[in-house]
Structure formats: C-alpha cells, structure tokens
Amino acid sequence: MTWRRSRRRSAVAAGVLTSTCAGVALVAAPIFGAATVTPTTATLTGYHVVRSAGFSKVPLQRVGTVNLRSAVAKYVPPSSSAARQQSLNAAPNRLLQHPGSATAAQRAALPTAVNVARFGNNVAGVHGFDGVTALINGGANSPDIGSVGDVSPPDQGLAVGPSPAGTVLVEFLNDTLNIYAPNGKTLLGAVPAFQVFGLPSNTFLSDPRAYWDPATGHWFLTMFTVGNKGATITNGQCSNGAAPPTCLSQQFIDVSTTNNPFGNYAVFSIDTSDSANTANGCPCFGDYDMLGADHNGIYIETNEFPLNPGGPGFNGSVIYAMPKLGLISAANGGPIPVVERYTVPLTSDPFAGYHLSPSTVTQGAPAPSREYFVESNANLPNNATAKNLEVFALLNTKGLNSGAKLTMVESTVNTETYSELPPNAVQKSGPTPLGTSVGFQGTPVLDTDFNAVQEVTYAGGNLFAELDTGFGYKSGINSGAAWFVLHPTVAARQLSVKVVREGYVETSQNLLYPVIGVNKKGSGFMAFAVAGPNFYPSAAYVNFSAATGAGNVVHIAARGVAPLDDFTCYPFFHFSTGQCRYGDYSMAQAYNGNIYMATEYIGPQPRDTLSNWGTRVFWAPVPAG
C-alpha cells in the first residue's frame, strides 16, 4: 500500500497562468506535489505504551517585535478590489489518502443515521456578526503591495478575552487578522498576516491560530511558512537565488508582552525544516500546525512533509512543547526558553502518527500537570472505517520550566465507528458567476475534509473531541460529525482512557468542520458549517454537554445566501480536483459564561472577483444544566 498527500489545502500548479478572468491576470503559487511512502505495519504492544525516547531540544529564535495598532497604520488598502492585481494562493494540501477501495464489510460498518437532527432557530441570547471576507482578505494582501493575493480557504482562528476596550474577539485567518467588540464593531482593522509577524510582504503564511490564556492573560498567535529565512519560496525557488534548505521552513509564534491584544508582541520562530533528516526526504515543512495549552505550557503540533515533491509523502507528527511563563518572560527581554521537540514517526505509530490534536484547558478548569493529544486512525484504505482513538499524555509539564526530562505515554480506546473520508458536500443550487465565466456548469461540491480530530478541549477531567465522518442516509451517504467525551487517567506512568459518552450529529444535509466549546463544567455548544440540497453554506451549532452529549436540534446561526464560488472550485484555475476547498477548521471558546464560535459561510457581503467566502462569528450563553 502506498500513501499520498492529496487534499486539505489545494496543491497549486507552478508557473503563471496565461489565461485571464474578467480581465484580471492570475498568478499561481508553488506546488508541493503528491509523493509516496510505505505506511507503518506496527501494532500496539499492549494497552499502554510508554515513550521515553523521541525528545530533543531545538532552538527558539527571537525574530523581532510588532505592534498591531502600528501595523494597521502602515497598511493602506488599494482603492478598490477591481483595480488591484489579483494573485491566487491555496494553502498546502495535507490529507493522507490511500489508493484502493474499501471492502463490502468496511462500507457496511459506516454509521447509519438513526437519530436525524432537525433544524431550528437560534437559542435565546445568541449574537453574531460577519467577520473577514474574501474581499477584505484579498485587499489586505493585495499584490499591489507585494503580498500574496487571494487565499483560500480562510482557516478560522478565534481567541476571546479582556482588553482595555472590554471583551474582544480576535479573528485570525489566511491571511488577515482583525479584532472586534462582541457587537461586531471593528476595533482594529484588517492587518495582513505578514505584518502580524513582521515579515516581508511576499511571505506565504498558513494555518492561523489564536489563543488567549486564562492563567496569564496573555495572547498567542501562530502560523507556519514554507521556506522563509531571509528569503521566500516562489514557484519552488528561494527568492534570494539559493536552494532549500537555505530558505528554511519556520513556525512563527507571537507572544503579547502585556495583557493588551492591541499592543506589542514579541515574534519567535522555530526551524521546522528538519534539514538533517535527509533519509526521510527533508528539508521539510511543518504543515497543519495546531495550538494547545495546559497550565504550564504551550504546545504546537505539526505534520512533517518534505519540500521536494519527489521525496516521501509524509514523515510523521512533530510536537513542540514550550514553557508558557518562559515565553512571556522572553517576550519581555528575558532568556529564551528551551523548546522540547517530540516526534511520532509514521513508521512507528499504528495510527500513522498523523495529526495529534493538542488539548486546551478551558477557562477556570483545573488541570493536572500534563498535556493530552488525541489522534484518529489515518492508517486506513480509502473509505474504510475505524473504531478507536489513540490518546497521548505528556507527563509532568511543570518540568518544562526547569528543563526536566519528559515522558510521553499513550493508550488506545475503543470507540464508535467513523469513516476515513466523508463524501463531498453538495450545496444548494444557485448563481456561480466565477464558475460560469470559466465554463463550469452547475454548482460545485465542497471538500468535507477527512477523519482528523479537530480541536480538543479539556474540562472537568474530560477530553472533548470531534471529527468529520460519513454516515448512511436513506440510499446514500452524507457528511456528519462524530463526537467523543473521553476520561483519561494516569497512574505510575500508565495511561488509561475510557469513553464517557460518544455519538453523532447527523442531518438530512451535510456538516463540515465541527468543533466543541465547553465551560469548566463541560457545558456549551458544538459549532460547524452546514451545506446541502436545501442550504447554501451556513453557520450552525447544537447544544452540547458532558452529561447528555450533542443536542438533536441544529440551530442556524446565520443562513448562507449563495453557493461557494471560489477559484479552488474549478479546474480552470489548476487548483481544484473537482471540489471547492472549504473551512479547514472552525473554532469555539468558552469565556465568562458564553461560548464564542466562528466558521466559514457565505454571507450577504460584497464579494471578491475570485472568491465569495465569508466568516460568521457568534456567541451564546452557556446552556443551563
């Protein structure tokens, strides 16, 4: 069996497209092509596995300092979208897809809808507003200022916390940041991501994450870049004329110097090129970075892919663990803390060592001195199913402050069935002016991602996790959400995990990119996007609690007004394999009695020539009970 990377951020053809659309020249971005490796054949050696190896120390570099208010002042947007140049960039694609087909038994193992949720109105007290759109994003990153142009999908980042202006919501997307009041009033203005990290305007950044830390009150922003240190990679080449690994891939981390989200941030970076690992095709880049936190540390997980399209397709997961207080001290001029690097190789993990989602402790929740990661089984043939999850625990995270030796333990837990690949989501038929202009007939379908665990929240001693799955509906298959409430315990370096509760959210439509946000008691909501024969892409949610699981009424936070009509949808632009890139992830966070949520949808806002994606940011009081 071979593996290849195929979807989750479109691969982009190198070179310049000579065609034009509406009189606008289109410039394509570099390609990171598919490659093959041999998957692991390892099996779990018992229920518990202790990993004392796999740790190494890597340097954390200080890049500089940025001020977000000053960044807005430096940026002058073009007078109009129509007048500006437009370049295209799709974020890297990172699905591990297997050739071959599932057996009849595997197909039969798909969950079947037995409790289809109905659709309803908003819960009492919900509020919301439209956030960054493709038009705003494209203007902020206009090639007129040497930037990357239009980017899709947006990848939803969200952090909520206090500020001198009261409660604020920081929205961070590919490739724009903005800060809002809860009523939707813009408090900052669109800041291009390159300015968030003080980088050159042509730096291509991806996978934004934002986090407000309840313990310290500080703000953290992260993104990765493919090849950037004194140069950037364009069409597979470093802009300074050198070849990789001279242009190193890096993970960037902004740490606020105070509790003020509008003010100064120290910018740090980690080299993720793994250049010495030539046996596995490196130099590499750390894709699909995820951000987690416990009371002691900040944790970034990446998936390592070689830069060379002819090399292996995937090496495994890499986790970077840093002391939270050490980062804040360094942001204010203190010594640079030690970063612990931990690897989970493809060849040694029965679940393929892919996408170990780090947990984040919710506001007010007590937590032991350990960080948890949850991984689904990516070691599956096409359309196969699995019935377990793998949970990792990094022990004694207080030791990050002193450089003490760390230990990782892991365990598998038997769960409900989930599928590797949900079906693409149809969307309600409607006008697609971009598609029509390039000769596409009909309404394109949406990429629903794969079975990777999304955001993980730790609250009340439990882990709350979710993923996309296919399920049988009538005579076909729809995309739904599988959810899990897991209870981990550690004794004598032995990790045990039990399923407290699990289930599905299944509807007559399709659900995309679920995320659970709960308070310290485990009560809150699961948010996601909805699309189907009766819905344009819309923002939605269900009630959720540790005691009862997901509710059976899907509340529509904001109904979409048109199909997604995006340059990633159509083969004309050499970005698409027949489906629109969508979402990549949603976000949810508990703060002061409310759950704040955000996801991609198609709202009633002015569109960009090459895309009409938008975002919806909304919040509601924690449900009683």
- Tell me how far apart the alpha carbons of residues 605 and 66 are, in angstroms, rounded to a whole number: 31
pLDDT digits (tens, 9 = 90+) for 434-465: 999 999 999 999 999 889 999 999 999 999 99
The β-bridge relationship of strands 88-90 and 150-152 is: parallel
Assess contact for 222 and 194: CB atoms under 8 A.
no
For residue 594, the model assigns a pLDDT of 98
Confidence tier at 33 by pLDDT (50, 70, 90): very low
Query: Which pLDDT score is estimated for 319?
Result: 97
User: pLDDT above 90 covers what percent of the chain?
Assistant: 65
Annotated domain spans of the chain: 48-425+437-621
Query: pLDDT grade, residue 625 (50/70/90)?
Result: low
Strand blocks (E) in 420-461: 456-459
Rounded CA-CA distance 458/397 in Å is 15
Weakest mean pLDDT among 101-105, 177-181, 380-384: 101-105
Between 510 and 203, the higher pLDDT residue: 510
State mean pLDDT over 348-352: 90
345 or 255, which is more confident: 255
Contacts 24+ apart (CB under 8 A), 262-265: 262/68, 262/69, 262/163, 262/164, 262/165, 262/179, 262/187, 262/188, 263/67, 263/68, 263/69, 264/65, 264/66, 264/67, 265/65, 265/66, 265/67, 265/68, 265/196, 265/219, 265/221, 265/331
What is the predicted pLDDT for the residue at 347? 87
* Cα–chain center distance at 62: 25
Distance between CA atoms of residues 405 and 334, nearest Å: 23
Q: Looking at the predicted structure, is the pLDDT value of residue 488 above 80?
A: yes
Pick from 140, 141, 49, 46: nearest CA to 87? 141
Q: What is the pLDDT of residues 504-521, one digit of tens each?
A: 999 999 999 999 999 999
Neighbours of 500 (CB within 10 A): 18
Rounded Cα distance between 545 and 540, Å, is 17
**β-sheet bridge partners, residue 419:** 385
For 86-90, 173-177, 477-481, 511-515, which range has the lowest pLDDT when averaged over its residues? 86-90
More confident site: 207 or 239 = 207
pLDDT band at 227 (very low <50, low <70, confident <90, very high): low
Q: Give the rounded distance of the alpha carbon of 43 from its chain centre.
A: 28
Q: What mean pLDDT comes out for the span 140-158?
A: 90
pLDDT greater than 70 at residue 167: yes
- Provide the pLDDT for residue 243: 38
Average pLDDT over residues 361-371: 96
Amino acid at 378: A
Cis amide linkage into residue 153, ω under 30° from 0: yes
- How many CB atoms within 10 Å of residue 350? 18
Task: Write the CA distances from 84 to 120, 194, 210, integer angstroms.
Answer: 42, 19, 29
CA atoms of 623 and 625, how far apart (whole Å):
6
**Is the pLDDT reported for residue 108 higher than 70?**
no
Q: What is the mean pLDDT of residues 405-425?
A: 92
pLDDT at 103: 59
Greater confidence (34 vs 382) lies with 382
- Indicate the average pLDDT of the chain: 85
Which contiguous run of DSSP H or E holds residue 129?
strand 127-130
Q: Cα–Cα distances in Å, from 205 out to 90, 138, 175?
A: 11, 14, 7
pLDDT at 550: 97
User: Span 256-278, mean pLDDT?
Assistant: 93
DSSP, collapsed to helix, strand or coil, labels residue 414 as strand
C-alpha span between 487 and 509 (Å, rounded): 31
Please state whether beta strands 553-558 and 118-120 pair in parallel, antiparallel, or not at all (unpaired): parallel
Q: For residues 220-228, give the mean pLDDT.
A: 85
Residue 75 to residues 185, 208, 287, 609, Cα–Cα distance (Å): 20, 20, 28, 21
Among 235-239, 340-344, 552-556, 561-565, the minimum mean pLDDT is found in 235-239
pLDDT of residue 54: 79
Both tokens of 2, joined, read 């071979």
Which of 243-252, 500-509, 539-548 comes out lowest in average pLDDT? 243-252
E-only strand ranges, 381-475:
385-395, 408-419, 456-459, 462-473
49 pLDDT above the threshold of 80: no
Residue 38: what pLDDT?
Answer: 34
Digit-coded pLDDT (tens) for 50-87:
555 678 999 999 999 999 999 886 665 554 445 566 77
pLDDT of 88 above 50: yes
What is the predicted pLDDT for the residue at 364?
96
Q: Where do we find the tokens 């203007």? A: 139
pLDDT band at 484 (very low <50, low <70, confident <90, very high): very high
How high is the pLDDT of residue 439? 94
Find, among 132, 149, 137, 134, the residue nearest to 84 by Cα.
Answer: 149
CA 422 to chain centre: 18
Higher pLDDT, 334 or 380: 334
Does pLDDT of 234 surpass 80?
Answer: no
Determine if the pTM surpasses 0.85. yes
Percent of the chain exceeding pLDDT 70 equals: 82
pLDDT of residue 6: 34
Averaged pLDDT, 204-209: 92
User: Which residues lie closer than 8 Å to 20 by C-beta, 6 or more apart?
Assistant: 26
Is the pLDDT higher at 612 or at 233? 612
Q: What is the mean pLDDT of residues 493-499?
A: 93
Please tell me the CATH code under which domain 48-425+437-621 is placed.
Answer: 2.130.10
Q: Which residue would you say has higher pLDDT here, 216 or 314? A: 216
- Return the pLDDT at 493: 87
Residues 6+ apart with CB under 8 A from 362: 457, 458, 459, 517, 518, 519, 520, 589, 590
In this prediction, residue 561 carries a pLDDT of 98
Residues 6+ apart with CB under 8 A from 48: 409, 410, 411, 494, 495, 496
**How many Å apart are CA 40 and CA 379, to the nearest integer?**
8
**Model confidence at 99, in pLDDT bands (50, 70, 90)?**
very low
- Residue 203's pLDDT is what? 81
Instruction: Give the per-residue pLDDT at 610.
Output: 93
User: What is the structure's pLDDT at 312?
Assistant: 67
Higher pLDDT, 41 or 482: 482
Give whole-number Cα distances, 468 to 353, 449, 451, 465, 482, in Å: 18, 7, 5, 11, 6
Residue with tokens 């009340």: 460
Q: How far apart are CA 154 and CA 579, in angstroms?
A: 16
Position 276 scores a pLDDT of 84
Q: What is the pLDDT, as a whole number, of residue 237?
A: 52
**Residue 575 CB neighbour total at 10 angstroms:** 25
Q: How many CA atoms lie within 13 A of 17 on its CB side?
A: 23
Paired residues of 62 in beta bridges: 268
Residues linked to residue 319 through DSSP beta bridges, in sequence order: 301, 342
